[in-house]
């Protein structure tokens, strides 16, 4: 009976593993997909003996699917994120040590800058393929019309917002339906006010959400909220929905990642857009930037480890590495990759090179359970700022449950 069952399963299951390289990908957006496809095609050309099968997942759905498939039916290669996101699976023994790939493919040299975020206990557990800057993407033409300059500090930022609002333009667009965009605002406010080390301690669960040092973060945020500088009803909109006001010229600024740029190009407004670094808030605090790194890993349950390692090692091919990153609007961690030609990427690369510290972004730095609860709190705070104390108390309770009492 078991044999019959196995036969039936073999016939109906469409994932055949022998001789194939199974890759689970979250590159679902049009431009990221183009970049990834280019990498896969280049790999196929260089390694005709390997049959590559790509399972594509929708980007958001992938974040839950990965938990399922790493335990249930692991692919040979899985795309994922660096930082705490990776560490969680490493600690559960679900990602394989790929330090040998780093050594053999010369990645210790070409990817030195990102090595840290891929390392746990002196061993590497994945290979990065792209990272990107976050910052304020703004409509230069709207600024020029009102004679506005790029704000360098908090007061200037607020006066720019005030001027925009006075002239009927929504100063800041944002879509918080899927929560993480609110995390971006929290990150930058907190990094600029309290600095990198405090922020990292917070994401590690070592700081209370009721800590008085966080008062300033929420207070500054509240200044923007009380003045209603954010897009109305943002909780209804995904980050893509929030693009429309900026593209239509109804909103001026968007704190977002560089993956936004290909859309701007498609919408035909790229020439009207420019970029500035999130302004200083407290003088003297080190400049830290969110620059999430996207990665790929070999799950412990992978069946075709040999070809998987080839796939990861292929990142040493600078052309393939360049294409994957740049077609998706990202920067390549391979230092030999072609220098970015897109002006936004150039600005990003310069900004990140000059930064004092790099963070991975809220939902990648913090414990996933805590990150989710916190982002829900941030979304609620943005709509109901008066609930600040209640929200922070609730977040602190969650933190204590997950990380233990302080």
Partner 1 sequence: MFPTPIQNYSLKVNIAYRLLLLLTLIVWLLPLIAVMLTSMRTFEDVLAGNYWTFPEETALISNYTAVFEGGKMGRFFLNSLIITLPTVFGTLFLSSLAGYSLAMHRFKLNLLVFAMFIAGNFVPFQILMIPVRNISIEMGMYNTHIGLIIFHIAFQTGFCTFFLRNFIKELPFELIEAARAEGATEWIIYRKIILPLIIPALAALGVLEFTFIWNDYFWALVLTQGDSVKPITVGLDALRGQWTTSWNLVSAGSVVAALPPVIMFFILQKQFIHGLTFGAVKG
Partner 2 sequence: MTFWERNQLKLAPFFFLAPAILIFLIYVIYPIIDSIWVSFHEWNGMDKSNLKPDGTPNWKWVGFKHYIMLFTDDEEFYVSLFNNIRWLVFSLLAIPIGLSLALFVNQNITGMRYIKSLFYFPFVINAVVIGVIFTWFYNPRYGALTLVLGFFGLDPIPFLADENLATYGIIIASFFPGIAYTMILYITGLTGVNREMIEAGRIDGASGFTMLWHVVLPQLKPATLIAVVVTIVGSLRSFDLIAVMTAGGPWGSSEVLAYKMYQESLFNYRMGYGAAIATILFLIMDIYIAWFLYRLFKSEKTEK
**Given the rule CB under 8 A, which residues bind partner 2?**
64, 67-68, 71, 87-88, 91-93, 177-179, 232-237, 241, 244-245, 368-369, 372, 376-377, 379-380, 383, 394
Q: Which of 219, 238, 393, 406 binds partner 1 (CB under 8 A)?
A: 238
Q: Which of 1, 18, 45, 72 binds partner 1 (CB under 8 A)?
A: 72
Q: Are 298 and 95 in contact (CB under 8 A)?
A: yes
Q: Which of 55, 113, 208, 300 binds partner 1 (CB under 8 A)?
A: 55
Q: Are 244 and 264 in contact (CB under 8 A)?
A: no
CA 135/CA 68 separation, integer angstroms: 33
Q: Are 342 and 270 in contact (CB under 8 A)?
A: no
Compare residues 65 and 346 and give the one whose CB is closer to partner 1.
65
- Does residue 223 touch partner 1 according to CB under 8 A? no
From the list partner 2, partner 1, none, partner contacted by residue 234 (C-beta under 5 to 8 A by kind): partner 2
Q: Are 365 and 134 in contact (CB under 8 A)?
A: no
Minimum Å distance from CB 263 to partner 2?
Answer: 17
- Does residue 13 touch partner 1 according to CB under 8 A? yes
From the list partner 2, partner 1, none, partner contacted by residue 145 (C-beta under 5 to 8 A by kind): none
3-state secondary structure of 227: coil
Q: Are 330 and 260 in contact (CB under 8 A)?
A: no
Q: Which of 150, 216, 225, 244 binds partner 1 (CB under 8 A)?
A: 244
Dihedral angle over CA of 327, 331, 336, 341, nearest 10: 60
230: which DSSP letter?
B
Half-sphere exposure of 23 (CA within 13 A, CB side): 26
Q: Which of 19, 41, 44, 58 binds partner 1 (CB under 8 A)?
A: 58
Cite the beta strand spans of 233-290 per DSSP E: 251-257, 273-276, 288-290
Minimum Å distance from CB 239 to partner 1?
Answer: 9
Q: Which of 56, 338, 376, 396 binds partner 1 (CB under 8 A)?
A: 56
From the list partner 2, partner 1, none, partner contacted by residue 92 (C-beta under 5 to 8 A by kind): partner 2
Rounded alpha-carbon distances, angstroms, from residue 359 to 187, 269, 341: 9, 29, 24
Residues that bind partner 1 (CB under 8 A): 5-6, 8-9, 12-15, 24, 28-30, 55-61, 65, 68-69, 71-73, 238, 240-241, 243-244
């Amino acid at each position: 009976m078991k044999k019959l069952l196995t036969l039936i399963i073999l016939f109906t299951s469409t994932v055949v593993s022998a001789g194939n390289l199974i890759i689970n990908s979250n590159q679902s957006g049009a431009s990221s997909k183009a970049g990834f496809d280019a990498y896969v095609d280049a790999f196929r050309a260089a390694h005709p003996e390997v049959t590559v099968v790509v399972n594509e997942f929708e980007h958001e759905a992938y974040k839950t699917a990965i938990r399922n498939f790493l335990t249930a039916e692991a692919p040979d290669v899985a795309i994922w994120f660096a930082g705490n996101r990776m560490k969680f699976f490493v600690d559960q023994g679900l990602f394989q040590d790929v330090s040998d790939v780093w050594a053999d493919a010369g990645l210790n040299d070409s990817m030195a800058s990102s090595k840290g975020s891929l390392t746990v206990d002196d061993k590497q557990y994945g290979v990065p393929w792209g990272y990107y800057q976050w910052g304020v993407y703004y409509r230069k033409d709207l600024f020029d019309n009102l004679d506005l300059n790029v704000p360098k500090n908090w007061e200037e930022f607020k006066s720019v917002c005030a001027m925009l609002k006075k002239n009927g333009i929504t100063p800041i667009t944002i879509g918080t339906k899927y929560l993480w965009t609110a995390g971006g605002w929290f990150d930058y406010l907190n990094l600029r006010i309290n600095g990198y080390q405090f922020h990292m301690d917070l994401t590690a669960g070592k700081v209370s959400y009721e800590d008085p040092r966080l008062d300033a973060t929420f207070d500054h945020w509240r200044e923007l909220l009380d003045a209603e500088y954010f897009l109305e009803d943002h909780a209804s909109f995904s980050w893509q929905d929030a693009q429309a006001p900026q593209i239509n010229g109804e909103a001026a600024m968007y704190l977002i990642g560089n993956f936004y740029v290909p859309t701007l190009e498609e919408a035909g407004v790229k020439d009207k857009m420019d970029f500035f670094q999130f302004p200083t808030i407290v003088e003297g605090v080190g400049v830290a930037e969110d620059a999430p790194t996207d990665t790929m890993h070999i799950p412990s349950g992978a069946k075709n480890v040999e070809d998987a390692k080839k796939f990861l090692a292929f990142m040493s091919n600078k052309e393939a590495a360049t294409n994957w990153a740049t077609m998706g609007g990202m920067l390549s961690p391979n230092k030999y990759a072609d220098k970015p030609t897109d002006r936004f990427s150039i600005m990003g690369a310069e900004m990140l090179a000059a930064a004092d510290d790099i963070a991975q972004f809220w939902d990648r730095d913090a414990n996933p359970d805590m990150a989710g609860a916190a982002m829900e709190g941030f979304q609620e705070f943005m709509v109901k700022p008066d609930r600040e104390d209640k929200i922070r108390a609730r977040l602190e309770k969650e933190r204590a449950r997950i990380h233990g009492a302080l």
